[in-house]
């Protein structure tokens, strides 16, 4: 049986309220943040269905099995909402951190696409997020996970320069070729950095197909899933990366998802050759005293000249920057950076950063077929055009507060 690396992402966006043209210059309350408003209601609902039961289950499994471990990453906006609306979620996360068998990864604080549009902002958000992880959980992250697993050679180079010792991303066939995704790779950069590639098929069997009665693999049992994992030999690494909300929200409790996961872990641990590992355990042996060991350069190279992600069929950036609605919004938003930061107004800067949350652009996606269905499922708006309309009004007000005029015509990146 191969090594198993489990990683779950915890993120909840801040959705725009009903801000309208009549609010321009009269109000800067772009988000419903009060405990009795929309974002709080959604967070508490998901906490009851997913966060709380799954976190308790993870604590139970860690208490039951000394060999069980995993990795989590929590966006900064998730941590803020958890602290405000369900502090018991934070308490459970702290209990998991205290076990010493849950590794917290670094990411952008605002779950943003800043790695594509602003190196300065990207570095700032990583610093803010790493500080938050240390303050909440007492860990200093050494492994980086970018928003939606977005990755390209340039991003890998920057993350290596920032001192991280590993990074997670997607295994995309057009760059991976016929090489197995179950090996550890390194970036096509100098300095180089280890890369863990998501096993999309096995991850999505749980995250997307688990309750699909039309799927040939239905019903997915722990024994069946273990057989699929056991196809890989002991020197391989199977990276199962998925949204935390897979458990209880995307796959409801009545599908048996919690029982399935618990039984799978139990069965894995019962096999003496099983090894659960965290990303840090996989990557840190390639470093000594903070410096890369020569063995790092012996890893196969994953050359990704154009950005990839874990979203949609093509695993590219089209979930966020495919159409003129998205492109215009992002161009205007990042075009504001210098003016916004120069004000020194932390309320204005925070609003600007909250508008960087990648979900805003995801809701504007106009794809159809299977990809379009997924986007529509997650969107709180009746259409991509309504998402763009609301965002544009808020952005207009942000320009006014910054004292600048909207621009147009520059290339996106």
Per-residue tokens: 107: 């990411």
Rounded Cα gap, residues 169 and 152, in angstroms: 9
Q: Which residues contact 156 (CB under 8 A, 6 or more apart)?
A: 167, 187, 188, 189, 192, 193, 195, 304
Rounded Cα gap, residues 288 and 278, in angstroms: 18
Q: Is-catalytic flag, 148?
A: yes
Phi, psi of 161 (to 5 degrees): -65, -30
Phi, psi of 52 (to 5 degrees): -65, -50
The interaxial angle of helices 384-402 and 324-335, nearest 10 deg, is 20
Q: Which residues contact 125 (CB under 8 A, 6 or more apart)?
A: 76, 108, 109, 110, 112, 114, 353
Contact of 85 with 44, CB cutoff 8 Å: yes
Q: How many helices (H) and strands (E) does the chain have?
A: 19, 12
Rounded Cα gap, residues 106 and 116, in angstroms: 17
C-alpha dihedral sign at 121, 125, 106, 191: positive
Tell me the β-bridge partners of 195. 167, 185
The interaxial angle of helices 153-161 and 119-137, nearest 10 deg, is 50
Cβ neighbours of 94 (radius 10 Å): 12
At residue 168, the 3 state secondary structure works out as strand
Q: Of 107, 121, 148, 249, which is the active-site residue?
A: 148
Contact of 387 with 379, CB cutoff 8 Å: yes
Annotated catalytic residues are 148
């Amino acid at each position: 049986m191969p090594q198993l690396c489990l990683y779950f992402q915890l993120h909840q966006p801040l959705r725009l309220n009903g801000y309208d043209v009549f609010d321009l210059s009269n109000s800067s309350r772009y988000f419903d943040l009060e405990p009795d408003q929309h974002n709080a209601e959604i967070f508490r609902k998901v906490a009851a269905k997913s966060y709380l039961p799954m976190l308790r289950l993870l604590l139970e499994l860690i208490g039951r099995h000394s060999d069980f471990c995993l990795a989590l990453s929590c966006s900064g906006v998730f941590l803020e909402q958890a602290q405000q609306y369900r502090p018991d979620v934070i308490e459970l996360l702290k209990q998991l951190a205290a076990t010493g068998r849950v590794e917290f990864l670094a990411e952008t604080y605002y779950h943003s696409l800043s790695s594509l549009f602003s190196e300065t902002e990207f570095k700032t958000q990583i610093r803010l997020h790493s500080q938050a992880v240390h303050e909440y959980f007492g860990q200093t992250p050494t492994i980086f996970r970018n928003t939606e697993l977005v990755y390209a050679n340039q991003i890998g180079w920057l993350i290596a320069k920032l001192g991280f010792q590993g990074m997670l991303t997607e295994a995309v066939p057009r760059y991976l070729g016929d090489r197995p995704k179950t090996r550890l790779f390194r970036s096509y950069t100098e300095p180089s950095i280890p890369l863990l590639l998501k096993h999309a098929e096995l991850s999505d069997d749980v995250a997307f197909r688990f309750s699909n009665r039309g799927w040939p693999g239905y019903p997915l049992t722990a024994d069946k899933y273990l057989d699929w994992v056991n196809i890989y030999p002991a020197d391989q690494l199977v990276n199962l990366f998925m949204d935390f909300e897979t458990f209880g929200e995307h796959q409801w409790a009545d599908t048996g998802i919690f029982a399935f996961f618990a039984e799978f872990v139990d069965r894995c641990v019962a096999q003496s050759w099983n090894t659960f590992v965290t990303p840090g355990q996989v990557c840190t042996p390639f470093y000594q005293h903070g410096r890369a060991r020569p063995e790092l350069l012996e890893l196969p190279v994953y050359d990704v000249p154009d950005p990839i992600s874990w979203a949609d069929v093509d695993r590219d950036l089209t979930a966020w920057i495919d159409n003129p609605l998205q492109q215009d919004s992002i161009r205007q938003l990042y075009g504001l950076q210098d003016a916004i930061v120069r004000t020194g107004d932390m309320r204005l800067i925070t609003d600007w950063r909250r508008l960087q949350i990648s979900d805003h652009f995801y809701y504007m996606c106009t794809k159809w077929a299977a990809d379009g269905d997924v986007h529509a499922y997650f969107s709180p708006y009746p259409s991509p055009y309504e998402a763009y309309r609301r965002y544009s009004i808020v952005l207009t007000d942000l320009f006014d507060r910054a004292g600048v005029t909207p621009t147009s015509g520059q290339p996106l990146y």
